[in-house]
Each structure stands twice: as structure tokens, then as C-alpha cells.
Chain A
Amino acid sequence: MSAAFAYALVGVGLFSLGLYALIVHAHLLRKILAINVMGSGVFLVLVALGGRTREAQPDAVPHAMVITGIVVAVSASALALTLMLKLVAETGRAELPTHRRE
């Protein structure tokens, strides 16, 4: 088993773990953390599988993609956290209101 596949599988595990937590947890901070864990999983899959070259050098393109992805992730997290705080200030709850039929 090569390291590329092992780490890619860990990435899949992180993605699934994050997805589960995103669905199960109600607290918004936990949901934001879950999205970040999922993102790390996707990044791990991207970079790890780029190591399947026969040469010593891994593929640089997924590395660049992941650096881009990390910046996008921090942007989204900053926005999500601000929105969460705003929502808490407005409603006093760090949870989304349960869906009601209107």
C-alpha cells in the first residue's frame, strides 16, 4: 500500500466524518468546524493522490489548487462566523430555527 492511497483514504474518512457532524450537530460553530474538517479531507485527497508520479517530485498542480482552496476556506469561515455572531445577537441562539411549515 503506497502512502498516496493511505492518505487519500484518511481524506475520505475526514470528509465523511465532517459530513456526519454537519448533519447531526445543531450548534452553528460545530457546523462550521465540520465544514472545515470536510474541506481538509478534500484537500488531502487532492494532494495525496498527486504523489502517484513515478518520479520523486509530486504533481505541483494539486498543491497550487489546495493553497487556493485553503484561502477560500478561511474566507468562507470568516464570513460564516460573522454571520453566526450576527444571528446570535439577533435571536440569542447559535442554532438555526427548526423548519416550520408556513
Chain B
Amino acid sequence: MGAVFTDIPWGVGLILLPLAGGMICFLWPGIAKIAGLVTAFVVVLSVAGLGWQILDDGVYHHTLGGWGAPLGIDLYADGLSLLMLAATALVGLGVSVHSSGYFEGEYSARFWPLWLFLLAALNALFLSADIFNLYLTLELMGLAAVVLTALMGGRDALSGAMRYLLVTLLGSLAYLLGVALLFHNFGSVDMAILAGRVEASPAVRAALGLMSAGLALKIGLFPFHFWLPPAHASAPAPVSALLSALVVKAPFYILLRLWLEIFGPLSEGVDALLGLLGAAAVLWGSVQALRQTRLKLLLAYSTVAQIGYLFVAFPLAVAAGLTAWSAAAYLMLSHALAKAAMFLAAGNLLRFGGHDRIPDLDRVVQRLPLSTGAFALGGVAIVGLPPSGGFVGKWLLLEAALSQGRWGLVAVIILGSLLAAAYVFKVLGHAFTQASTPHEPRAVPASMEWAALLLAMGAILLGFLASPVLALLGIGDPFVASGVGP
């Protein structure tokens, strides 16, 4: 039994299953919902299976077509990829359950194939070790995300999606030009081979600039964040959850990999610039979030701020390595679960009250306790209060900053948390009070509430799992390999 379980090729299944599922949903819209839910569930199982294999045998490696790099394409998964895949699968399952209630009729038939293709793109992205192949996964993910944003139509969503599309295409092209320069400089598009061959040259510096800028644009790093709040806030709630939790993390993952494998030793101050922009994003995003009167816009600006934390890790990691990178990975994971939960909860409140104006939230804490609870727990993780996953991530980051005496960054980390506390409690405060304009509530299915709550509890639970998660993250030493060939 155990042998059969470990022999199943889970890794490639993570790509093929959602692709096949998406095609089935496209062909037969009548069974789209069931096919989608089954696929999301099987993907969770597959990640568990892959995790089992990785724990047993170490890093996962699959040479597609049997050729192997540099001629062929390799799939590769270590602890970092595994955690990203796990976050994708869990958020994906939660969002799928929520969506099965959220989308109805025609919209349901349109949502599922797009979402399953997005899931396939995310899984393929986290598994790929080939920078040209990563370009294709980026495009697949970007196009799917754009259409999902515009799914329900409407002026805001359409213009948000259009801006998002232009930004994501521009980012991809900049990235692709970087790929071209690296390929023509070193004769390979495989990350491990590039890591072994790379040395400073004008082409590498240009590639570093192009790829960092292109990916930062797709991530929405300050000051490239202009497209993010309109797109994330105007999309349907489950889509907002996917965008904020996963879609902005995927290009960050690529950037992280590129730095760890290729650019790390050649950074030449770019890390300081990224750190500075990250710090600016933390402050700007938090202040903007505090100023918003619409719940989903508040959450979208909060995403801008939380992305900033990931970049604060760059200058710290170049100096000290492991702790700061672990912090970034942990924050990425924690934010994925927490923000997905909060967007789903916001979707429930929106559906319940017919609006998402923060001052007019009418005693939702009594009338929609599970969703409000999910929002609060997610908020705890975003603020970084113990015992949440966000606390562990911020603590690790703070530790790295303190040990290097980077007082400016220490101040930013703490100030960002205080501001986050302010905007989360601003929402919760209104959740208790009676609004001046009462409204006719609309029922929210229990599945939609529980999906949000369970994701939020996951974000909290992550705080108790620090040592196993960090041990998992160490598999394959993703954070030690920088600049050294395989």
C-alpha cells in the first residue's frame, strides 16, 4: 500500500489533473461545479502525496521527455516549492468550496474552467526549474487571472482587468527579454545550470534589472502597485482571494528563486533598493488601507503593504541569509491563508448586506458570526499577533533586522504592524455597531462561511507549526544554494 502510494507520480499529476479538469469543465459546463470541486480536492491529496515522497526521498526531480537540462525541461521541487504548492492547494480548496456557493448559473460555468487552468498554471510555476517555461506559466496564470477579474463584468472590474492585463503583459515581456539575455550569455535556460555558470557581465546586470522590474510589476511592489487595488477590489470575492493570496505570490516566488540561484552574489545594491521600496510599500499601503471606506479596497491596500514585508527581507537576507528568507517564506504562506480568508469573509459580508461600505456594516458580528470571526482571525495573522503564522514570520524578520542593527527596518516592521492593527480594528469596530441605514440581509450558505473560517484558522495554526514548517522549508536547502552550482 505504502509503495503504491509513493510510486504514484504526484508531481506531474499536480499539473495534468487541473488541466484535464479545466478541459472537462469547458466541454461540459453542466458538471463544471462537481468536476471543479473534485479536482481541487484531488490536488490537495496530490500535494500530500508529493510531500510524502519528498520527505522520504528528498527533492523531487523529473526530467520531462527524458532529455534533461539543458536540452529538455526539468521539474524540481524542494521544501520551498512544496510549501507554495501546499498553500496553493489549501487556499484553492477553500476558494473552491466558497465558489460553489458564490457563483451561480452562467457564471458558475464560466468560473470553473478558468480557475482550474489558473490552478494548473500555479502548480506548473511552482514546479518548474526552467526560466523560459516559467515565462509560459506566468502568461497562462496572468491571462487566466485577468479573465477571472472581469468575470462578472461591470465598469470597475473591466477597467481594473484591462489595466491588469497591460501590466501583466508588460511584466512578462521584460522578464522574457531577461531570459533571452541569460540564455544567450550562458547557453541554458535551466536554473541550476545557470547558477553554475553565471558570472558578472553587463548582460546579467541587464537581465537582473529587467526580470526584477518585470516581476515587481506583476507582484505590485510600490510604486508599481497602481494596478493592484482596482483589480483586486473589483474582482468577485473568491477571485480577489486567489489574486491576493496566490497570484501575486507566484512572481515573487520566481524572483526569490532567481535571487537565490542566480542573482544573489551579483546584487550590487539592488537588494537595498528592493528593501527600500518594500519599506515604502509597507507604510504607504498601510496608510492607504486605513483611509479606505470600502472593505475590499482596504484589503487590497493591505495586500500592497504585506507585499512590502516580503521585500524588506531582501537586504537582510543578502547580509545574513537563512533567517530573513525563512521569514519571507513564512510571511508569504501566512498571508496567503489569512488574506484569502479575509477576502472570502468580505465576500460573505458583501453578499449579506449588498454592499461593502465599512461604516455601514450592521452588527454583522451577531448576524454573521462565522464570517466576522474569519475576518478577525485573518486580521490577527495579518497584524502579526501571537500565536498566528504572521507572528512567526514577523518575529523572524525582526530578529534578522535586529541582529544586523537595521533600526530603520525594525521601525518599519513595527509601524506597519501597528497600522495593520488600526485598520483591522477599524473594520471590527463597525462590525459591532448598528448602522444608520438598516438593510434587508441576504442569506449566506454555510459552506461559504466555513470556507473562510477554516482558512483563517489555518493561518493561526501556522503559528503553532513553526518548527515543522521551518524543517520542511529546509529540504533541499533552497536558501543555502545561492550562487553555488548543484
Q: Is B45 an interface residue (CB 8 A)?
A: no
What number of residue pairs across chains A and B have CB atoms under 8 A from each other? 80
Query: Is the CB of B447 closer than 8 A to any CB of chain A?
Result: no
CB atoms of B146 and A97 under 8 A apart: no
Give B168's nearest chain A residue, CB to CB.
A76
B146 surroundings in chain A (CB, below 8 A): 79, 83
Give chain A nearest CB distance to B258 CB in angstroms: 18
Residues of B within 8 A of A35 (CB): 166, 169-170, 173
Specify which chain B residues have a CB less than 8 angstroms from the CB of A68 in the assembled complex.
136
B residues in contact with A17, CB < 8 Å: none
| Residues in chain B near residue A31, CB distance under 8 A | 166
Does A10 touch B at the CB level, under 8 Å? no
Q: Which of A62, A72, A83, A97 contacts B165 (CB 8 A)?
A: A83
CB neighbours (8 Å) of B147 from chain A are 79
| Shortest Cβ distance from residue B38 to the other chain A in the assembled complex, whole angstroms | 28
Q: CB-CB contacts of A77-91 with B at 8 A, as 1s and 0s? A: 001100110110011
Which of B153-161, B239-247, B375-383, B429-437 lines the interface with chain A?
B153-161
Chain A residues with CB under 8 Å of B161's CB are: 83
Contact B226 A39 (CB under 8 A): no
Contact with A along B103-144 (1 / 0, CB 8 A): 000000000000000000000000000001000100100010
- Tell me how far the C-beta of B315 lies from the nearest C-beta in chain A, rounded to whole angstroms: 28
User: Which residues on B sit within 8 Å (CB–CB) of A83?
Assistant: 146, 150, 158, 161-162, 165
CB nearest to A100 among chain B residues? B230
B177 within 8 A of A: yes
Report how far A13 CA is from B343 CA in the complex, Å: 43
Is B180 in the interface zone, CB < 8 Å from A?
A: yes
Determine whether the beta carbon of A80 is less than 8 Å from that of B169: yes
Chain B residues with Cβ under 8 A from A49's Cβ?
180, 184
Residue of B whose beta carbon sits closest to that of A93? B159
**Residues of B close to A45: CB separation below 8 A:** 177, 180-181, 184
B281 within 8 A of A: no
A75 and B147 CA atoms in complex are apart in Å by: 13
- Measured CB to CB, the closest approach of chain B to A55, in angstroms, equals 15
Chain A neighbourhood of B61, CB < 8 A: none
Task: Indicate which residue in B150, B159, B173 contacts A42 across the interface (CB closer than 8 Å).
Answer: B173
Given contacts A86-B158, A87-B159, contact A79 B165 (CB under 8 A): yes
Q: Which residues of B contact A50 (CB under 8 A)?
A: 184
Closest Cβ of chain B to A64, distance in Å, is 10
- The interface centre, meaning the residue of B150, B165, B292, B293 with most chain A CB atoms within 10 A of its CB, is B165
* Bound CA–CA A97/B132 (angstroms): 34
A: number of interface residues (CB 8 Å) = 34
Which of A15, A22, A65 contacts B166 (CB under 8 A)?
A: A22
- Report B-chain residues with C-beta under 8 Å of the C-beta of A72: 136, 139
Q: With A35-B166, A35-B170, A79-B146 in contact, is A99–B226 under 8 Å at CB? A: yes
Q: Least Cβ distance of A42 to chain B in Å? A: 5
- Chain B residues with Cβ below 8 Å from A38 are 170, 173
Q: A35-B173, A79-B165, A83-B162 are in contact. Are A91 and B132 (CB under 8 A)?
A: no
CA–CA, A86 to B293, complex, Å?
28
Kindly provide the distance from the CB of A56 to the nearest chain B CB, expressed in whole angstroms: 19
User: Is B26 an interface residue when CB atoms closer than 8 A count as contact?
Assistant: no
Q: How far is the CB of B234 from chain A (nearest CB, A)?
A: 11
B-chain residues with CB within 8 Å of residue A28 when the two chains form the complex: 162
Residue A96 at the B interface, CB < 8 A? yes
Binary B-proximity of A39-76 (CB < 8 A = 1, otherwise 0): 10110011001101000000000100100110010011
Residue on B nearest A91 in the bound complex, by CB: B155
* Contact, CB under 8 Å: A42 / B143: no
The answer to whether B176 has its CB under 8 Å from any CB of chain A is: yes
Quick check: is B183 within 8 A (CB to CB) of the other chain? yes
Asked whether any CB of chain A lies closer than 8 Å to the CB of B340, the reply is no
Q: Which residues of B contact A42 (CB under 8 A)?
A: 173, 176-177, 180
Report yes or no: A102 in contact with B165, Cβ–Cβ below 8 A: no
Chain A positions within 8 Å of B180 at CB level: 42, 45-46, 49, 62
Q: Residue on A with the closest CB to B149?
A: A83
Does A87 contact B158, Cβ atoms closer than 8 Å? Answer: yes
Q: In the complex, what distance in Å separates the CA atom of A87 from the CA atom of B450?
A: 35
Q: Which of B143, B158, B161 has the most CB of A within 10 A?
A: B158
How close is B55's CB to chain A, nearest CB, in angstroms? 35
Q: How far is the CB of B233 from chain A (nearest CB, A)?
A: 9
A91, B292: Cβ atoms closer than 8 Å: no
In the assembled complex, which residues on chain A have CB atoms less than 8 Å from the CB atom of B143?
A: 75-76, 79
- In the bound complex, what is the Cα–Cα distance between A49 and B181 (angstroms)? 9
- Chain B residue at minimum C-beta to C-beta distance from A38: B173
19 pairs of residues in contact across A and B, judged by CB atoms under 8 Å:
A22-B170, A31-B166, A35-B169, A42-B176, A45-B184, A52-B184, A62-B180, A69-B176, A75-B143, A76-B143, A80-B165, A83-B150, A83-B162, A83-B165, A86-B153, A90-B155, A91-B158, A97-B159, A102-B294
Known: A42-B173, A83-B161, A91-B158. 17 other contacts (CB 8 A): A28-B162, A41-B177, A42-B180, A45-B181, A46-B176, A46-B180, A62-B180, A62-B183, A69-B176, A76-B165, A79-B165, A80-B162, A83-B158, A86-B150, A97-B159, A99-B226, A102-B292
Binding site for B on A (CB under 8 A): 15, 19, 22, 28, 31, 35, 38-39, 41-42, 45-46, 49-50, 52, 62, 65, 68-69, 72, 75-76, 79-80, 83-84, 86-87, 90-91, 96-97, 99, 102
